[in-house]
Structure 1
Amino acid sequence: MNPIRVLVIDDSAFMRKMISDILSSENRIEIIGTARNGEDGIKKINELAPDVVTLDVEMPKMDGISALQKIMETNPLPVVMLSSVTMEGARKTVQAISTGAVDFISKPSGAISLDIATIKEEIISKVVTASQVKLSKKKPEITHVNSGIREPVSYSQKHSRSIVAIGTSTGGPRALQRVLTDLPDDFQTPIVIVQHMPAGFTKSLADRLNTLSGIHIKEAEHGEIIQQNTAYIAPGNYHMRIREAGTALAVELTQDSTLHGHRPAVDVLFNSVSHLNKINKLAVILTGMGSDGSDGIKHLKEKDPNAFVIAESEESSVVYGMPKAAVKTNCVNKIIHLHHVGETITYLDKN
């Protein structure tokens, strides 16, 4: 098997050396070069044709965001961003993921992280995963309302109230942007979301999506009552459960142990939704690495056979891990291209 050829772009000589050493310790990876800023990086991409690029967000001359935009316009390839957990760093990282970066790595202690080796396994894992992503050079097709509903969907709304629960990981911010902006502005059913992301980044994601969507999108807060026409994103490092509070529904955030290495975990959210009474339940599994969400949809179906489960298709998934694992449970009602998920949720919600 050919090694994964990686180019490291970072303005810090120390970080270039550390990241190169970490990645070189994995026998599947070969470092083919380094670059000190975006301009230098783009030149080296053209010369060396890497399989994966690691790209620092904050750099002089040409920063990571500008470099990423150029890469995606001229020569799309898998990019993993490196970011510091400042408010500005988080905002730019979410922008990068939405622009086309496959994933990001949060530096443990700022721009020059002397302790970067503490996240060695995460860096290797994310670069290896990125190498498996196939990026299309074609512009995404423009779809029209109802074009994705090829055949009738059997889903009867038995109750007066409904909830939509969404789980996603790698590639999720772009997928969520597509789904949430495809919903009509007057979509009333509350939406609860787990996106695998560390603390400090989920608020930036919610804020960005809120500026793009007609519905209200926010980072969830412990104890708040769930409102209509609103989507709630679980904060990084907290599990999110939905519980009944009298006749209302409330958010419960905990720092219970990680599940499958994740906090928040999709299974925790879906399991909590399975216990809600007299509520129509629609669960959606989008792109992501691993199998988080599969046990949750099994619980949903056991508790409420009328619950409807959608999985994103392999064709549109950045990483077809979580949707594939969901499909294997035989609990998925419909497998749908990302471009049709929003309209399908809207269709099901009305019927």
Structure 2
Amino acid sequence: MAKIRVLIVDDSAFMRKLINDFLSEHHEIEVIGSARNGEDAIKKFREMRPDVITLDVEMPKLNGLEVLKVIMEERPLPVVMLSSTTKEGADTTLQAIQAGAVDFVAKPSGSISIDLHKIKTELIQKVLSASKANLSKINSQNEPRMARKPLADPAQQKKNASGDLYSKRFSQESKKIVCIGTSTGGPRALQQVLTALPKDIGVPVLVVQHMPPGFTKSLASRLDSLSQISVKEAEDGELLQKGTAYIAPGGFHLEVKNVGPALAISLGQSPPRNGHRPSVDVMFESVSAIKNYSKIAVIMTGMGADGSRGLVELKKNGVVKAIAESQETSIVFGMPKAAIATNMVDEVANVDHIAETIMQYI
């Protein structure tokens, strides 16, 4: 099997050596070269034609964002950004994802991280995952809208239509809550969904986006500036308000609990689930215990299977409509595929139709 050919871009010789050593240990990866600054990166990108690039955000001569824009214009390919966890680093990283980067890895301790080994496994996994990303959808935000489509499995459609345990009693009058889970490609997908929800949506929205600490606040601020609804990083103990989306902070699981007639957020640092904290499964399982609410669960682009077990719990314990993002628009079709495999997804929708599908259920 052909190896994944990787070009490493970082202005620190020490970091280039560490990243090279880590990636070269994996039998599916071949490091074909490295670049010391932005100009060098563009030259080697053109000459070597790598499959994946790891790209430092902060560099002289041309920064990572400027290099990324050249790559996406000339010959789009999977790019994994390496970023510091400063607010500036987080903001630039989110701009890079919007500009076409598939994913990012946060350096543990600044631009030169002697403890880079802490993220060795994550870096390898993200390079492997990026190599399989659906790049045709990276720059397709302005394509014509495609219609949503019902679940492909006719038997499941019939089962749902018959009013079984999982589909009945979903009324327009009941109190509702929306919960969304996503990972790789998620910031772009969330922007398409949350910005399309109306200000008077009338329900709270919970979001788990796999991200490390330091990045979710920048994501929430960016989405809040673009959306009609309010978007904020969730805080422990705050009461859920209609028309607000709460994004789980990096490093914390997000759960909900009853406080009298209201619902409140509970943040915790119990062990990661599926390698993630926050975890979609943890959020879904928590929401499944809330009584007297109808729930709308959405699983979008991402690597792995986080959310599928939680979806089963949701469906067992209440009135739920489940939406999965289609393979056509997912950057990585891991999480939606795993959700669909449970046979408990009611609708598969292209990302640009998910907000409309949510509103139909509301």
Shift of residue 105 of structure 1?
A: 0.8
Q: Any idea what the Cα deviations from partners look like across 1:209-230, whole Å, max 9, x if unmatched?
A: 1111111000000000011110
Shift of residue 262 of structure 1?
A: 1.0
In the TM superposition, 1:327-342 aligns within 5 A as 327-342=340-355
Shift of residue 256 of structure 1?
A: 0.9
Q: 1:101 to 1:226 in 2, by over 3 A?
A: same
* Aligned AA (1:180): L
Q: Which residue of the partner structure matches residue 225 of structure 2?
A: 211
Instruction: Tell me which of 250, 256, 272 is aligned to 1:258.
Output: 272
The 3-state SS of whatever aligns with 1:127 is: helix
Matched, 1:233 2:233: no
In the TM superposition, 1:63-82 aligns within 5 A as 63-82=63-82
Matched, 1:92 2:89: no
The 3-state SS of whatever aligns with 1:182 is: coil
* Aligned AA (2:186): G
Matched residues in 1 for 2:131 and 2:148: separation? 30
The 3-state SS of whatever aligns with 1:123 is: helix
List alignment gaps of at least 5 residues for structure 1: none
Preserved CA contact (<8 Å) 2:149 2:349: no
Matched residues in 1 for 2:342 and 2:303: separation? 16
Q: 1:32 to 1:149 in 2, by over 3 A?
A: closer
* Aligned AA (2:274): H
Q: Any idea what the Cα deviations from partners look like across 1:253-286, whole Å, max 9, x if unmatched?
A: 0111111111111011001111111111000000
Q: 1:276 to 1:163 in 2, by over 3 A?
A: same
Shift of residue 134 of structure 1?
A: 2.9
Aligned-residue CA RMSD in angstroms?
1.9
Preserved CA contact (<8 Å) 2:172 2:361: no
The 3-state SS of whatever aligns with 2:136 is: coil
Q: 1:289 to 1:147 in 2, by over 3 A?
A: closer
Matched residues in 2 for 1:38 and 1:284: separation? 38
Matched, 1:285 2:299: yes
* Aligned AA (1:66): E
Shift of residue 202 of structure 1?
A: 0.6
In the TM superposition, 1:126-141 aligns within 5 A as 126-136=126-136, 139-141=140-142
Q: Which residue of the partner structure matches residue 175 of structure 1?
A: 189
Q: Any idea what the Cα deviations from partners look like across 1:125-147, whole Å, max 9, x if unmatched?
A: 11111111131186445445x94
Q: 1:182 to 1:158 in 2, by over 3 A?
A: closer
Q: Which residue of the partner structure matches residue 177 of structure 2?
A: 163
Matched residues in 2 for 1:295 and 1:194: separation? 15
* Aligned AA (1:5): R
Matched, 1:192 2:210: no
Q: Which residue of the partner structure matches residue 317 of structure 1?
A: 330
Shift of residue 39 of structure 1?
A: 2.1
Q: Which residue of the partner structure matches residue 124 of structure 2?
A: 124
Matched residues in 2 for 1:142 and 1:184: separation? 22
Matched residues in 1 for 2:108 and 2:15: separation? 12
Provide TM-score, normalisation by structure 2. Answer: 0.92
* Aligned AA (2:183): S
Shift of residue 118 of structure 1?
A: 2.7
* Aligned AA (1:322): M
Q: Which residue of the partner structure matches residue 101 of structure 2?
A: 101
**Aligned length in residues:** 347
Shift of residue 77 of structure 1?
A: 0.5
The 3-state SS of whatever aligns with 1:343 is: helix
Q: Any idea what the Cα deviations from partners look like across 1:175-215, whole Å, max 9, x if unmatched?
A: 11111112123322110000111111111111111111111
Shift of residue 15 of structure 1?
A: 0.9
Shift of residue 148 of structure 1?
A: 3.3
Matched residues in 2 for 1:164 and 1:233: separation? 12
